[in-house]
Structures are given as C-alpha cells and as structure tokens.
Amino acid sequence: MVYSKYEGRGTPSVVFVAGLGDGSDTWNGVQERISQETSTFSYDRPGTGRSQAVSGPRSCADLVEELSGLLQKLNIVPPYILVGHSFGGLVARLFAARYPELILGMVLIDAAVEYKELVYERVLHDKLVAHNREYYLNPLMNKESIDKPRSYMELVELTQMSDLNTSIIMRGLPDTYNEEWPNEAILRIDQEMQAEVQKLYPSSQCRIAAGSRHYIHQDEPEIVIEEILAMIRGITP
C-alpha cells in the first residue's frame, strides 16, 4: 500500500516527488500553500513514510512507472507540474521525458544529476573515493535500494533537449555532512552540474537559494512557492 495526500482544486495538478528516503511530509508547508491555488499530490514511495517496503533493487524507471500508475489509479487529472527534490528531480525529469504530453512544467529543487558521485571523485581523497564509489554501486547502501548506475543510464538514454517550462533552484550554502567531506568543493561541482542540466531546457530559469542548504523547500520555502506559483499563473488562463 502506498500512502498519498491529494488536495483537489482543479488543474494543473502539482505533483511533488521527494528525495531519496524522504516521505511526503517533507512537502507539508509548501503543499499546504500551493493547495490554496490548485490541486496538489504528494506520496510516500514504498519503504518511506507510511508506505510498505517492496523488494529491490529498483531503478528510476520503476519509480516513474509506479508514479504513473498511482496518478491514473487515483484519477489525478493532468496536466501536471512536477516538483522534484534531489533524487526526486531525476524521477521528475524521466517522467517528463516519457510522458511529455502530460506535463506543463517542472520545478527542480537542488536536483540530483546523472553520475554525480563519479564527478565528486575529482575532489575526494582516497578513503572518501572508496566509500563514495561503494555508495554509488551498491543499492543496499541507500534508503530505497535504488540502483543508481541503472537509473542514470535510463535517464541518459531518454534525455534530449526540451522546451518544457522548467525552473531550476540550487542551494547557495554548502552542506555539512562531516568534517572530511569537502563541502565547499562539492557545492561548486553541484552548481556546475545544475548549469549543464539547464542547457537541456533552453527556456528554463535558474535561481540560487542563497540562504539554503540541500533542503531548500524547508530552509527557504517561500522561494519554492514563488516558483511554483509563477508557473501556475503563467500556464493557466
């Protein structure tokens, strides 16, 4: 059973896709505000929040088909605005690539980028490289048993330039995972990769949340709300 939260108020329907291991409650404040304007939908992927776990490993394509089936089953009416955080940004991008006719826009919040772990190795010392590579290769090391290499391959194979209305929001502050992790250097790499993603969506806008770390929708929710509202108002009569 998959737990979900839906507020119906016409279209477009804003679909929130959380990061790896996160549940729908990560969106509480933002979803509450957006629900005053239009329909919203959030959910707990299997193994997160209040949803039962399923056997793994799984890939980004599995998550896309799972979300597609859920939206159809619950009769969540398109068109959709996809709002994806972290790994949820990859799910949103692959969903939009597979079902472009259903999508009116996309908001990517400090979204993960394909093969980011391998790019990080440029600034990691040997001990961190070994741990980082194991995390990349072993699905059992992440909270949802996601096969990252396969997920990245799926996205690369389907990725092409798109005129989809897209808002890219990236963090302005380094995260602080531990003292050994080169947080400032990783921030610079992440921002460079976000700029590369922006090239895939020529009509996209990019915004830096100067006061936020990775969880921008919690550190500065007003920025995320502004971007979603601007997209809603730009595509509705």
In the chain, the DSSP E strands lie at 4-7, 13-17, 39-43, 80-85, 103-109, 166-171, 205-209
Looking at residue 1, what is its pLDDT?
84
Whether the pLDDT of residue 112 is over 60: the answer is yes
4-231 maps to which CATH number? 3.40.50.1820
Looking at residue 125, what is its pLDDT?
92
Whether the pLDDT of residue 54 is over 90: the answer is no
User: For residue range 55-70, what is the model confidence (pLDDT) as tens digits?
Assistant: 889 999 999 999 999 9
* Mean pLDDT to the nearest integer, 9-36: 97
CA–CA gap between residue 168 and residue 161 (Å, rounded): 15
* Mean pLDDT to the nearest integer, 167-189: 93
User: For residue range 126-176, what is the model confidence (pLDDT) as tens digits?
Assistant: 999 999 999 999 999 999 999 999 999 999 999 889 999 999 999 999 998
CA–CA gap between residue 26 and residue 224 (Å, rounded): 13
Whether the pLDDT of residue 237 is over 80: the answer is no
Looking at residue 236, what is its pLDDT?
43
Q: Provide the percentage of residues in the chain whose pLDDT is more than 70.
A: 99
Q: Which amino acid is at 171?
A: R
In this structure, what are the phi and psi dihedrals at residue 42, rounded to the nearest 5 degrees?
A: -135, 165
Looking at residue 52, what is its pLDDT?
87
Q: Provide the percentage of residues in the chain whose pLDDT is more than 90.
A: 90
Cα 23 from chain centroid?
Answer: 12
* Mean model confidence pLDDT for the chain: 95
Q: The whole model's pTM is what?
A: 0.96
Cα 130 from chain centroid?
Answer: 26
User: For residue range 203-236, what is the model confidence (pLDDT) as tens digits?
Assistant: 999 999 999 999 999 999 999 999 999 999 985 4
Whether the pLDDT of residue 36 is over 90: the answer is yes
| DSSP calls for 124-188 | --HHHHHHHHHHHH-GGGSTT-B-HHHHHHHHHHH-------EEEEEESS---S-SSS-HHHHHH
Looking at residue 235, what is its pLDDT?
53
